[in-house]
Amino acid sequence: MSVRTPLAALSAVTVAGLLAACGVGGSSASSAPGSGTQAGNCDVNSQVAAGTPLTGTPSGSITFQTTALKADFSPYFEKVIADFEKKYPGTKVTWQDDPGDSTFTQRMVGDAQACTLPDVVNLNQITAYALQKSNFLVDLDKNAPGAGDEFIPSLWSSLKMPGSDGHFVMPWYWGLTGLQSFNASLLKKSGLNPDQPPQTVFEQFADAATIAKTSGGAYYAFSANPAFRLPSDWQLMKVRISSEDQKTFTFADDPKAVEWVQKMAQLYQAGALPKDSLASSDDPVKLYTEGQLVWGSTNASSLRTVQSGNPTVYASTGVSQLLDARGQAMEDGQLVGVTSTSKNPVTALAFARYLLSPDVQTAFISDPRIQNFPSTTASLKADKFTKISGTDAYAQAAKLSAQLAQNAQNAFLYSWNDAVNTVVVQQVQLAMQGKKTPQQALSDAQSQANAIVAKS
C-alpha cells in the first residue's frame, strides 16, 4: 500500500484566512513567522521565542499526533515511543492519531485557536504552511541548527514555504512524480520504438499524434481529461504557474502553457484520446489495464493493479523517466512539525528528530506494505531500494524511482486547491472541444483562479 492521507480541499491561503478569522495570526511584527512571543492568541514558548538553539536533556511529557496511521502501524509506533522513553528516562510520549479525513484542516485550526496543538504533529503541506504563517511552528534553522543534515539534500533545501527562507517542518515519507509507464506492444504497433520513450511532455504528445493516425480507434494514447495531467505537466515543463510568493497565478502568460492546451486540443480532435474520457473521472489505470491506453499511471504502485488485472498488459509494460525541463523528480509527502506553543519544546524536538532518524525511518519504510520513500539519505540505502530483484515493470519502476529519489525536489503549489483545479480543468476542456481558443481558455482560467485566491 502507498501510505497517504486525503488531499486537502483548502488552499494554504484559505486556511490562513480561517486562522485569522478565529483570531489566530495577524499582520503585526510580533506574530511574524519565526519571531515574537505570540502565535495568534497563544503564547509562544519562551525558549522558542528567544530564537536560539533549544538545549537541555529531554524530560517530561509531550503529545505526538500522526495522521491515519494507527489502524495499520500501531506496533511500530508503540515501539518507537517505548525506545525513545528508554533512551531518555523520565520522558512520556502520548500518541494520538487523527483520521485524516476531509475535516482534518478544520480540526487543526480549532486546536490552534484553542492553543491545544500537539507538541509534535504530522502535517500535510497546506496545513503546515498556514500554521507557519501564523507562527505556530518552531523555526528549525534558529531553534535546531543542523536538523536537516541527515535529510536528502535536494528535499531539505526545497522544503521552504513561500515568503520564507527558513525551515519550519521536517520531511517524513513521500511519493514521487517523474515516471511514465507504457504498453510497449502498442507503441510498436504504432511504429514507435518502446526502447526510446519520450523524455518530454511534448515528445509524448508527438507520439500520441502518431498513435491517432495508426490505431484506428482500437486504442488511444492516454485519457483526455486534463485533470489527470495538471498541474504536474506544467511543473515538469517549468511553466511559470504563479508568482514567486504563489499569491498570483500567471500560467496564461507563459507560451508553453498555451502550446500545451493547443496540443491537447489537437490530440483530442484527431482521435488520439478517447472522446468519452474528457470529463470522465474513470481511473486511467483501469483503462490501461484493459489495454485501451498506451500510457499508464505515473505512480509505480499502480503497476500492482495492472499485474493482477491483466497479466498480458503487465508483461508488455515498460517504464522510464519523464522529467522534461525540470530534470528532477518532484515529491509531495507528509511532514513533521514541532509547535512553537509546546510547553516542552526540548523533548518535542528530540522526539521529532528521533522519529525521523535514519534507523527509525528505515524500519518504517522496510514494511512491505509501504511504497513511499523515506526522507533521509541513509534510509535510501536500505535493501528495499538497493537490492531489487526482477526485471518486470514493477521492479524497473522501483529501481528507477530509487535513483530519482536521491535528487527529488519539493514542488508543492500551495494555492492550487480543488477550486482552482476545477476552473482550470473546465476551461481547458472547453478549449479541447473547440469552444474557446487556448489563450482565451487560459486567460479566463487565470482570472477565475486569481479571484478564488483573492477571496481566500
pLDDT at 6: 38
Do 398 and 430 belong together in one domain?
no
Do 373 and 317 belong together in one domain?
no
pLDDT at 21: 47
pTM: 0.89
Do 215 and 346 belong together in one domain?
no
Q: Which domain holds residue 242?
A: 179-327+417-455
Grid cell digits, residue 127: 496545513
Residue 374 gets which letter from DSSP? Answer: P
Rounded to an integer, what distance in angstroms lies between the CA atom of residue 324 and that of residue 320?
A: 12
- Among 410, 426, 446, which residue terminates a domain? 410
pLDDT in tens, 239-264: 999 999 999 999 999 999 999 999 99
pLDDT at 29: 35
Do 198 and 246 belong together in one domain?
yes
* Residues paired with residue 62 on neighbouring β-strands, in sequence order: 93
pLDDT at 28: 36
Could you tell me if residue 7 is inside a domain?
Answer: no
* Residues paired with residue 63 on neighbouring β-strands, in sequence order: 94
Rounded to an integer, what distance in angstroms lies between the CA atom of residue 427 and that of residue 143?
A: 46
Rounded to an integer, what distance in angstroms lies between the CA atom of residue 208 and that of residue 295?
A: 10
Sort strands 60-67 and 91-98 into parallel, antiparallel or unpaired: parallel
Name the stretches of the chain with pLDDT < 50: 1, 3-9, 13, 21-35
Could you tell me if residue 51 is inside a domain?
Answer: yes
Do 310 and 384 belong together in one domain?
no
Could you tell me if residue 1 is inside a domain?
Answer: no
The answer to whether the bond into 368 is cis (omega within 30° of 0) is no
One-letter amino acid at 12 equals: A
pLDDT at 4: 44
pLDDT at 153: 97
How many structural domains does the chain have?
2
Do 398 and 280 belong together in one domain?
no
pLDDT at 32: 45
Do 320 and 451 belong together in one domain?
yes
Residue 247 gets which letter from DSSP? Answer: S
**CATH number, domain with residue 196:** 3.40.190.10
What torsion do the CA atoms of 5, 7, 13, 19 make, to the nearest 10 degrees? Answer: -40
Do 347 and 291 belong together in one domain?
no
pLDDT at 308: 97
Could you tell me if residue 399 is inside a domain?
Answer: yes
Do 205 and 119 belong together in one domain?
no
Q: Say which residues have a Cβ less than 8 Å from residue 128's Cβ, sequence separation at least 6.
A: 137, 161, 168, 169, 335, 337
pLDDT at 19: 54
Contact assessment for residue 7 and residue 100, using Cβ atoms and an 8 Å cutoff: no
What are the angstrom distances between the C-alpha of 372 and each of 161, 283, 301, 369? 22, 21, 9, 9
Do 347 and 431 belong together in one domain?
no
